[in-house]
A and B are shown apart, each in its own frame.
Chain A
Amino acid sequence: MRAKIRPDWASIGALTLVLGLALYLFLHGGAGGLTDYAIFAGIYAVFTLGLNVHWGFTGLFNIGIAGFFALGAYTAALLTTPPPDPLMFEDFKFGGDLAVRLGHLDLWFPVALLAAGAICGLVALFLGFITLRLREDYLAIATLGIAESVRLLFLNERWLGNGSKGLYRIPKFLGDLVSPENYDYLYLVVVVVVLVILYIAVERVIKSPWGRVLKAIREDEVTTAASGKNVFSFKLQSFILGAFIMGIGGALYAHNVRFVDPSTFDPLLATFIIWAMLMLGGSGNNMGAILGAFVVWGIWTGTQHLPGFLSDPNFRFVMVGLLIVGVILLRPGGILGERRRVSGQIEPPRGAAP
C-alpha cells in the first residue's frame, strides 16, 4: 500500500500549497468552507482514481468523463428520489424511492453507489467493445460522443430525468443522525471512507497478477500479445473498472449536492479539470491522483477569491488548459508520477513527423 513518493521540491511544494490553501479556506470560510472544499476534493479524487486506471495504468484516452459522471449521478438520483409529485409539475416517470423502501440503516446509499457504478460499467463495456480493438484515439472521440449523447439524452427525455429542471429531492444519507448544520462533517467522513476503500482496492488490483499484465501491455503491447495474453480483453476490463469507479464518484456527487440537472455536467468541471488533476498529480500513481485532485481543486476554490479578472471562471478555464499543456511539456510525470508512460517509447512511432 505504500505509494512511491519522491520527496523533491515539487511534492514538498505541492503539500505546502495544499496546507496553505487549507489554512486560507479555513480563515475565509471557517470550518464549513474547509469541509466543503474537502468534500469536493475527495469526490474529485475518486474520479481521478478512475481516470488513473484508464490512463495511468492502461493508456486509455477517456475524454468523456462527464458522461460517466452524469450517468452515475443520475442513476443514483433516480434510484433514490421519491416518485414524481404531480403537484410540483415534475415530468419524470419514476423514482426508485429506495430511501424509503430500504430505509433500514440507510442501506439504500451503498446500493445506489454500486448501481451507479454498474450502469457506467455497462456503458463502458459497450463503448469499449466497439473501439478498443481499433486505434487508441478512436476511444477518445467515442468517449467525447458518449458524454454529449448522455447529456442530450437527459436534457430531452423529460420522462427520464425531468429534463432541464433536474432531480432535486435526493435524500440525505444518514440524514437523521446529525443536525443539518453538522451534516457536512458526516458526509466528509463518508466520502473519505469511500475514497480509502477505493484506493486500497485499486492498489490491490494493480499489484495483482492482473495488474502486472496491464503493466506489461503498457510497456510492450506487441510482445505481451505475442505471449498469448488477450490484450483487448484486459483493456476492456480496465475500461470497465475505471468507469465503475467514476460512476461511484457521480453518485457521491449527487448525494452531496442533492440536485442533478444536465447543465451540471459541463465538460470543464466534469472532464477537463479531472485530466488536469491527474496530469499534475502524476499519472500512474494512485496517491498522485488523489494529491492532484486536492491541489487542483484547492487552486480552483482558492482563486475564486482573487481580485479582478483572475477570478473570472473563463480565465480559470484558460488556466486549466494551460496547466495540462504545461505539465505535458515540462513535467510529464506530474508531481508524483512515473515518467515512463508519457515520455516516449523504444521505437519512434512510424509516421510521426520530425
Chain B
Amino acid sequence: MSLLEVNGVVAGYGETEILHGVSIVLEKGEIVTVIGPNGSGKSTLLKTIVGLVQPKKGQVSFQGDDITSMAPESIVRKGICYVPQSSNVFPSLSIHENLEMGAFVRTDDFRPRLAEVYGLFPDLAERRREMAGRLSGGQRQMLALARGLMLDPVLMLLDEPSAGLAPKMVASVLEKILWINSTGVAILLVEQNAREALKLSSRGYVLASGQNQLEDRGQDLLENPEIARLYLGG
C-alpha cells in the first residue's frame, strides 16, 4: 500500500477542467517531483490532494483511506500539510503566531516541536515577534516551510518553494527540504527549478495539459534529452 495514491483525477474550477485524469503514486519517505510547463495543472493537483479543489472524477487515497471528498480541515488532521506557492504565511500574525497556526490541529504540547523548528530556522527564531508581513521573500518561504513542519507531517505538498528566490536562497531551501526528508517525511514537490529538484528526488512525473506525460526515476529524467530540452533548459 503506497502512502499516497491519486487515481484518474479529473478536476478544475467551476466549469473549467484543468486535470483530465491524472494518476500518481508516492511511497513512504520518498521525494517525488512533478514538473511541466505553466498551466499544466501542477498546482491544481496539489490543491486537489489537500481538498481545496473537489475532483469531479477519480480518487485520492492516503495511507489506505479514501480522502477524495474530505475537506482540507480534515485532511490536514491526517498528517498532510500543504505549502502554497504564494500567500503562504499570515501577514498580520507574528512569526511565532504563524507557527502556532501551523500546529493548530495538534492536540499535544507543541512547544518541543517549536523549539526543534526554531533550531532548524535560526533566522526566524531571532525575529519571532515580528509580523510576517514584514519579512523578505526568502524569509517568507522559510516561514512557510517551518509552518508546515509544525504539524509533524507525514507528507508535505510543496508548491514551487524556490519561486522568485535568489540562487543562494534556492540552495538553502532545497537543503532544508532534503533535511526534512531525512527525518522520514515524504515530500511531493512541484518545481519550476526542475533540474535542482530532480536531483533530490527518487522519482519524477511530467505533467502537461492536465495529463500524465511521463514517469521515471529522478536520475533518469535528468538524463533524458527530451526532458532536458523541454523543461530543464537544455
| A and B touching (Cβ–Cβ under 8 A) | yes
Q: Which residues of chain A have a CB within 8 Å of any CB of chain B?
A: 344-348, 350, 354
Cross-interface CB contact of B15 among A346, A350, A354, cutoff 8 Å: A346
CB contacts (< 8 Å) of B13 on chain A: these are 346-348
> Complex Cα distance A231/B102, Å?
40
What's the minimum C-beta distance from B50 to chain A, rounded to whole angstroms? 14
The residues of A that contact B71 with a CB separation of less than 8 Å are 354
CB nearest neighbor in B for A351: B87
A288 to B86, CA, bound (A): 43
Is B16 among interface residues, defined by CB-CB distance under 8 A?
Answer: yes
The reply on B122 being an interface residue by CB < 8 A is no
A293 to B223, CA, bound (A): 70
Give the residue among B14, B15, B71, B87 with the most A Cβ atoms within 10 A. B14
Number of interface residues of B (CB under 8 A): 6
> Which chain B positions have C-beta within 8 A of A344?
14
Interface residues of B in 4-29 (CB under 8 A from A): 13-16
Which residues of chain A are within 8 angstroms of B14 by Cβ–Cβ distance? 344-348
User: B64-92: which have CB < 8 Å to A?
Assistant: 71, 87
On chain B, the residues within 8 Å of A347 by CB distance are: 13-14
Q: A346-B13, A346-B15, A347-B13 are in contact. List 9 more A-B contacts (CB 8 A).
A: A344-B14, A345-B14, A346-B14, A346-B16, A347-B14, A348-B13, A348-B14, A350-B87, A354-B71
Residues of B within 8 A of A354 (CB): 71
Q: Which residues of B contact A350 (CB under 8 A)?
A: 87
Chain A nearest CB from B5 CB (Å) reads 26
The 12 sampled A-B contact pairs (Cβ below 8 Å) are: A344-B14, A345-B14, A346-B13, A346-B14, A346-B15, A346-B16, A347-B13, A347-B14, A348-B13, A348-B14, A350-B87, A354-B71
| Chain B min CB distance to A113 (Å) | 44
Considering only residues 84-113 of chain B, those with a C-beta below 8 Å from chain A are 87
CB-based nearest A residue for B16: A346
CA distance A83 to B14 in the complex (A): 61
Query: Bound state CA distance, A345 and B87, in angstroms?
Result: 21
Distance to closest chain B CB from A288 (angstroms): 24
A260 → chain B, closest Cβ, in Å?
47
Q: Which residues of B contact A348 (CB under 8 A)?
A: 13-14
Report the Cα distance A344→B16, complex, angstroms: 13
Q: Name B71's closest neighbour in chain A (CB-CB).
A: A354
B16 neighbours in A (Cβ, 8 Å): 346
CA distance A348 to B15 in the complex (A): 11
Cα–Cα, bound, A346→B44 (Å) = 14
Nearest residue, chain A, Cβ from B13: A347
- Chain A residues whose C-beta falls within 8 Å of the C-beta of B15 in the assembled complex: 346
Chain B positions 135-191 with a Cβ under 8 Å from a chain A Cβ: none
CB nearest neighbor in A for B73? A354
Tell me, in angstroms, the Cα distance from A346 to B14 when the chains sit together.
5
Q: How far is the CB of B94 from chain A (nearest CB, A)?
A: 21
Q: Whose C-beta in chain A lies nearest to the C-beta of B15?
A: A346
Least CB separation from A345: chain B residue:
B14
Q: Once bound together, how far apart are the Cα atoms of A344 and B13, in whole Å?
A: 11
Compute how far the CA of A345 lies from the CA of B13 in the bound complex, rounded to whole angstroms.
9
**How close is A54's CB to chain B, nearest CB, in angstroms?**
25
**Nearest CB of A to B39, in Å:** 13
B45 CB, min distance to chain A CBs, angstroms:
16
> Could you tell me the distance in whole angstroms from the C-beta of B54 to the nearest C-beta in chain A?
11
In the assembled complex, the CB of B116 is this many whole angstroms from the nearest CB of chain A, namely 32
* Min CB gap B51→A, angstroms: 11
Give Cα distance in the complex from A350 to B47, angstroms: 13
Minimal beta-carbon separation of B190 from chain A (angstroms): 19
The distance from the CB of B113 to the nearest CB of chain A, in whole angstroms, is: 28
A346 to B12, CA, bound (A): 9
Distance in angstroms between the alpha carbons of A344 and B15 in the assembled complex: 11
User: How far apart are the CA atoms of A348 and B71 in the complex, in Å?
Assistant: 16
Nearest B residue (CB) for A354:
B71
